[in-house]
Structure 1
Amino acid sequence: MKNILIPAMVGDTDSIIVQLALEELGHVVHRLVGDNFPTRQTISYSISNADLALGKFHDINSGLSSDNIDTVWLRRPRWPVISETLHPSDKFIAEEESKQFIRSLYQTSWDSAIWVNSLEGKRRAGSKLLQLRVAAELGLIIPDTLVSNNPDEIRKFVKEKNDSAIVKPLMGGDWKENGKRYVTYTAAISTAQLNDNEMIAACPCIYQNTIQKEYEVRATFFGSTAIAVKLNSQDVKSGKLDWRIAEPHTLKISPIELPTEIYKKCISVMNKLGIIHGSFDFAVTGNGDWVFFEVNEAGQFLWLEDYVPSLPVLQTAVEFLLNPSADFIMKNPGRRITIREIVNSDKYKMSLLDDQKNVGSFKNTAII
């Protein structure tokens, strides 16, 4: 039996499904919803000469100690959500102090556990600029890229690409406004749209040449095991620039094997970034070139099995979290746990209801 900690966010079904699968195998799982602190969660951390450190956590979901954790799956940790009832000045202080406390906890707790991924790996992999530089250094093809808030340089770059360029955020995000949810996606950009210097200069963005895609590939790595699918995004109007906008069932998703050289370079990228789990996005051109876009160290992955049931994604994730390492290779587990099995269970339905009791915030950002 192993003890696994999953810092996660409200509504993250991947972490809920993985938790239930691990528990079905007899393991102890703590899903720590960071949004709950400090309104619905108490944390105590003691340190002395007698006891070097001990953290105790208790919230509406469960209680746990900072010791006896074998694996920390740093899924999607969150910043504290401070009560709106506080005076604005008090709220600012409470928020800053709470953030520093949570940041310090992650730096000093669960030293003996294996982390997926480490704090440093998460930080490095969170930099799209570093990703692109590492990928280029390792010989992967990347788009021509400009990251800037300089209106003149941006217009020059887009003009040089014959107005065939895209713009996307450095981090991405979502928010609520007038009852609607908005998400930042990749968008086409032309010089005709770049007239407002003040607006352009207000926020740096990533600008790249448009890649002429034949299809796209999402490859999720668990250590040295890769599960990849082909996405026919160019057959769907809404998915041509960003396949995430399209309805998944329209993408005609199918399994695909990574070319050996691409597989090896993905492993090298992960090693350079210091991560052992991540989801890679590639575009494949008509010439057969594989163009690297990014690697998301905390990307959604169970949807791969949802649309291609033959792929043992959940089982691979479970086995990996029980034995996490850069060298992990998935072996035949015998009895396979599937997403459908978990999602159709009463425990999953109850877990979703419990999750709704947590504190959620679209403005809450992940810890980096």
Structure 2
Amino acid sequence: MKRAALSYGVLIAAPVGEPHADAVAEWLTKKGVRVAYLCAGNFMHGSMSFTPACDYGPLPHERGGDWGFDEYTIWVRRLVTNRENLGSAPNLRDLCRSESASITAGIIAALMRNPKIRVSCVDKIDCAYLAEHKLLQLEVAGRLGISFPQSLVTNDPDEARGFLDEGPAVAKGLSGNIAISPIVSRLDADLVDAVRAIPVLLQREVDAVADIRLLVCGADVIAWRRDRSTDVHPDWRREDPDGKGFFQVDPPAGLAQSAINVVSALGLSTAVQDWVLDRSGQPWFLESNPQGAWLFLPNARRVAVPMFANHLIYARE
């Protein structure tokens, strides 16, 4: 069916109910920007159809109306846009996730190749995929002269034991799944032999006084700080899973530009980053997540949502 094209709109790849997507979409809509969702989800949540090589702007739609655009900004909030479970078997859940990611990525790639429309992507899928890898993030930070904790990836217990002998260390998962230790935990003698099963990222523990979370959008940076007490878990998510201890601050001197440089070097325009401050006030880079969470942070709906929404609009320029 031929659809009348509109001049411009924002297309958000996200599952149903993703809070960041919904918050930004609401702000854009109030400002008169047309928004559609790309969600390879369950039909009960809305229809989604796509025709390759069509003459009009392809129309994946979900909760966004029955229309197409001449020009898109695509925000890839999530590639896995279907979290449905078709049954109790884990393989069915995994099927929904993997198929939705393939469909979402394929439609975005097709939109970007369509000569009939103009597309800007925040951010490009291939860059965002590579930028998820924390070892690449550390490599980039180091090449930029940014301090990060001494790191070692090993499956050799002797190497792990030697690393631990040199000072306090943590074990960190890289895939988002339950690894040698969920999230981040201190390395101890009981965990050293466990590295035999699979290489593990070990990092020197920073004697930190505060956690810093940054939202980077182009040349704009918002910072939040969470002070640490003594003898706390090295990962704030264990101590404060809702992030209630964070408060908005001005970025420490030079930190905003370092954060922007990391994002740019990874081929992106936006990311959520975690840093820590040691007792001397020096910032240490931990990681940069292309699709990290920020809406839970104080004042995020007031300051971060408009900043991010405007970033999507300006991406077309």
* TM-score > 0.5, shorter chain as reference: yes
Sort the Cα spacing of 1:129 and 1:313 in 2 relative to 1 into closer, same or farther, 3 A: same
Aligned counterpart in structure 2 of residue 256 of structure 1, from 240, 250, 254: 250
Equivalent position of 2:49 in the other structure: 43
Which residues of 2 match residues 1-368 of structure 1 at below 5 A? Answer: 2-36=8-42, 41-47=47-53, 51=55, 55-59=58-62, 61-62=63-64, 67-78=69-80, 84=86, 100-111=102-113, 112-161=118-167, 164-173=168-177, 184-196=182-194, 200-232=195-227, 234-235=228-229, 240-247=233-240, 248=242, 251=245, 253-260=247-254, 262-306=255-299, 312-324=303-315
- Sequence identity percentage: 23
- What stretches of structure 1 move > 6 A for 4+ residues in a row? 37-40, 87-98
- What root-mean-square deviation, in Å, do the aligned CA atoms of Structure 1 and Structure 2 show? 3.6
Sort the Cα spacing of 1:92 and 1:242 in 2 relative to 1 into closer, same or farther, 3 A: closer
Q: Which amino acid aligns with 1:72?
A: I
Counterpart-to-counterpart distance in 1, 2:60 and 2:25: 18
1:94 shift after superposition? 9.4
Counterpart-to-counterpart distance in 2, 1:88 and 1:14: 27
Aligned residues: 304
1:6 shift after superposition? 0.8
Q: Which amino acid aligns with 2:296?
A: W
Counterpart-to-counterpart distance in 2, 1:276 and 1:222: 6
Counterpart-to-counterpart distance in 2, 1:9 and 1:209: 37
Sort the Cα spacing of 1:94 and 1:259 in 2 relative to 1 into closer, same or farther, 3 A: closer
Q: Which amino acid aligns with 1:103?
A: A
**Does the CA contact (< 8 Å) of 2:80 and 2:104 recur in 1?**
no
Q: Which amino acid aligns with 1:156?
A: G
**Does the CA contact (< 8 Å) of 1:221 and 1:276 recur in 2?**
yes
Equivalent position of 1:354 in the other structure: none
Sort the Cα spacing of 1:252 and 1:95 in 2 relative to 1 into closer, same or farther, 3 A: closer
The structure whose RCO (Cα within 8 Å, separation 6+) is larger is: 1
1:211 shift after superposition? 0.6
Q: Give the secondary structure class of the aligned counterpart of 1:228.
A: strand
Q: Which amino acid aligns with 1:77?
A: L
Counterpart-to-counterpart distance in 2, 1:138 and 1:185: 26
Q: When the two structures are superposed, what TM-score results if normalisation uses the length of structure 2?
A: 0.80
Sort the Cα spacing of 1:125 and 1:249 in 2 relative to 1 into closer, same or farther, 3 A: closer
Sort the Cα spacing of 1:208 and 1:35 in 2 relative to 1 into closer, same or farther, 3 A: farther
Unaligned runs of 5+ in 1: 175-182, 329-368
CA distances 1:98-135 after superposition (whole Å, capped 9, x unpaired): 76544332322145222111112202211111110010
1:184 shift after superposition? 3.8
**Does the CA contact (< 8 Å) of 1:5 and 1:71 recur in 2?**
yes
Sort the Cα spacing of 1:93 and 1:3 in 2 relative to 1 into closer, same or farther, 3 A: closer
Q: When the two structures are superposed, what TM-score results if normalisation uses the length of structure 1?
A: 0.70
Counterpart-to-counterpart distance in 2, 1:290 and 1:159: 24
Counterpart-to-counterpart distance in 1, 2:109 and 2:212: 35
**Does the CA contact (< 8 Å) of 2:172 and 2:184 recur in 1?**
yes
1:22 shift after superposition? 1.0
Sort the Cα spacing of 1:90 and 1:136 in 2 relative to 1 into closer, same or farther, 3 A: closer
Q: Which amino acid aligns with 1:253?
A: F
Counterpart-to-counterpart distance in 2, 1:95 and 1:296: 20
1:140 shift after superposition? 0.3
1:95 shift after superposition? 8.4
Sort the Cα spacing of 1:9 and 1:206 in 2 relative to 1 into closer, same or farther, 3 A: farther
Counterpart-to-counterpart distance in 1, 2:98 and 2:28: 35
Counterpart-to-counterpart distance in 1, 2:247 and 2:90: 49
Q: Give the secondary structure class of the aligned counterpart of 1:230.
A: strand
Q: Which amino acid aligns with 2:250?
A: I
Counterpart-to-counterpart distance in 2, 1:249 and 1:97: 32
Sort the Cα spacing of 1:66 and 1:252 in 2 relative to 1 into closer, same or farther, 3 A: closer
Sort the Cα spacing of 1:99 and 1:26 in 2 relative to 1 into closer, same or farther, 3 A: closer
